[in-house]
């Protein structure tokens, strides 16, 4: 059963899905100065955007930080930065900015959906 599509069809009149770009960190490459540079793959996606409730910010210990965050539902899987697993640093581009995936609240498999907290980083850069 495709729960993400079912829920999206029921809530689309109140909160339609928004176009976004999912920026997946696919690895690293070595620069000329021997530093490691992240390599990203961009994929178009649809996301369901919600404000982050203040109670959730307290639960996540983010209440003292001065940042802007959103609660996102998205089809597929995403990763936060994990140095031991050497993965992550995934982000979403929407509302004219890049949003780093900072918390994964729920994840239901590669072809299902996930519930994420994202934090605004910098304004989106136009593609080269």
Kindly state the percentage of the chain with pLDDT values over 90. Answer: 34
> What are the angstrom distances between the C-alpha of 106 and each of 39, 116, 119, 127?
25, 7, 17, 31
Range of the domain at 37: 3-123
Q: Are 121 and 88 in contact (CB under 8 A)?
A: no
Give the integer Cα–Cα distance in Å for 24 and 36.
16
Residue 63, pLDDT > 90, answer no
Does residue 128 belong to any structural domain of this protein?
Answer: no
- φ, ψ dihedrals at 59, nearest 5°: -60, -35
Residue predicted with more confidence, 25 or 109: 25
Which pLDDT does position 21 carry in this prediction?
96
DSSP H stretches of helix in the chain: 3-11, 54-59
The total number of residues shown for the chain amounts to: 128
pTM of the model: 0.77
**Looking at residue 39, which CATH number applies to its domain?**
2.40.10.270
Instruction: Give the total number of structural domains in the chain.
Output: 1
Does residue 40 belong to any structural domain of this protein?
Answer: yes
pLDDT tens digits for range 8-37: 566 666 778 899 999 998 888 898 999 988
Residue 112, pLDDT > 90, answer no
């Amino acid at each position: 059963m495709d729960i993400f599509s079912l829920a999206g069809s029921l809530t689309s009149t109140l909160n339609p899905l928004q176009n976004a770009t999912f920026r997946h960190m696919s690895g690293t490459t070595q620069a000329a100065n021997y530093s490691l540079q992240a390599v990203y793959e961009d994929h178009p996606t649809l996301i369901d955007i919600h404000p982050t409730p203040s109670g959730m910010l307290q639960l996540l210990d983010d209440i003292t930080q001065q940042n802007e965050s959103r609660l996102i539902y998205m089809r597929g899987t995403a990763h936060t930065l994990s140095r031991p697993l050497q993965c992550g640093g995934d982000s979403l581009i929407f509302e004219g900015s890049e949003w780093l995936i900072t918390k994964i609240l729920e994840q239901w498999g590669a072809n299902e959906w996930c519930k994420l907290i994202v934090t605004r980083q910098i304004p989106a850069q136009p593609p080269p």
